[in-house]
Amino acid sequence: MNVPAYRIAVVDDDDQLRRALARLLRAHGYTPLEFASAEEYLAAGPQVACLLLDIDLGGMTGIDLYRQLRAMPGEAPPAIFMTGAGTPAAERAAAEMACVAYLAKPVDINVLLIAIEQAVRR
C-alpha cells in the first residue's frame, strides 16, 4: 500500500497494544506517534491526521480528550475510538462527536485500517 506518511496519534495506556498498533501503522506507511495518556497527548500538542483513542485511559478518558480538542480553536483531527469495555453511553457520545469509528477490542485489523484510510481522506 502506497500512502503518504500521515501522522497518526495512538493514545492508549496499554503499552503492549500501543506498540503493536504503532508497528502496524508503520508497516502500512503511516507515521505513528504514541501517547500513554490523554494528558500526555495534550502536553505534546501534535499535528496529526487521525487519532486512535482508547476510551478508558486511567485519567482523562478518550471521550473527554476528544471533547476538549473539539472545543479548542481550529478543527480537531478525525477520531477512531477503541474500547475493551464499551458502554451504550460511550458509544452514543462518540457518535455525537462524529467519530470515524467506534471499535471493540480486540480490534479487527482490516476494519481499523479501513477506518484510518477514511479518516485521513477527510
Whether residue 109 lies inside any domain: the answer is yes
Whether residue 77 lies inside any domain: the answer is yes
pLDDT tens across the length of the chain (122 residues):
454 689 999 999 999 999 999 999 999 999 999 999 999 999 999 999 999 999 999 889 999 999 999 999 989 999 999 998 878 888 999 999 999 999 999 999 999 999 999 999 98
Whether residue 85 lies inside any domain: the answer is yes
Q: What is the pTM of this model?
A: 0.93
Give the domain range for residue 39.
7-120
| Number of domains within the chain | 1
Q: What is the largest CA-CA distance in the chain?
A: 37
Whether residue 1 lies inside any domain: the answer is no
Whether residue 56 lies inside any domain: the answer is yes
As a whole number of angstroms, the distance between CA 66 and CA 31 comes to 20
Strand pairing partners for 81? 53, 102
What are the cell numbers at 112? 481499523
Whether residue 2 lies inside any domain: the answer is no
Q: Residue 53: give its domain's CATH number.
A: 3.40.50.2300
Strand pairing partners for 35? 11
